[in-house]
Amino acid sequence: MVIAHDINDLGDLRTARNELRRACERRSLPDDVTYDLLLCVQEACKNALRFAGGPRGVHASVSINRTEIVATVRDWGDGIDPGRWHVAPPDPYSESGRGIFLMSELMDRVEVHVDHGTRVRLHKLLPAPPVPRAA
């Protein structure tokens, strides 16, 4: 299953988030996986909208299969300075600056590619379904 949205503002982001939440519910994903995914995709999209400076907005897609979720957030702005991508715990008194840290902590793998914009790819492994016991 793949969900994709072009996001130009917070209203578009809200719509995309609601659709992703419903898709997670249809797949009966664990609540903690759904929460982590929604939070991280939202943070990546908000960062792209806020910092990218590109006129094309943001494209977000999420692919869910039996073993993994892969979310990709792409913008066409100036690109993030790789030196700014750090996963140190944020200042607890700061009003912002937690998004990258949260993505790194909550996802199993985070990839950042800078080339005519920024592409953030978030990977979340799904728990294996329970194996029925022999009678």
Q: How confident is the model at residue 54 (pLDDT cuts 50, 70, 90)?
A: low
Indicate the SS3 state at residue 81.
Answer: coil
Q: Determine the structural domain holding residue 53 and report its residue range.
A: 8-125
pLDDT tens digit sequence for 4-41? 989 998 899 999 999 999 999 999 999 999 999 999 99
pLDDT the model gives residue 80: 72
In a domain, 131, yes or no: no
13 phi and psi, to 5 degrees? -65, -40
If one counts the domains in the chain, the total is 1
Answer yes or no: is pLDDT of 96 > 90. no
Query: Which one is predicted more confidently, 110 or 80?
Result: 110
Kindly report which listed range (14-23, 72-81, 104-113) carries the lowest average pLDDT score: 72-81
In a domain, 43, yes or no: yes
CATH number, position 40: 3.30.565.10
CA pair distance 37, 70, nearest whole angstrom: 9
Q: 43-46, long-range: CB within 8 Å, 24+ apart, which pairs? A: 43/98, 43/99, 43/100, 43/102, 43/103, 44/71, 44/73, 44/99, 44/103, 44/120, 44/122, 45/7, 45/13, 45/16, 45/73, 46/10, 46/13, 46/99
pLDDT the model gives residue 51: 81
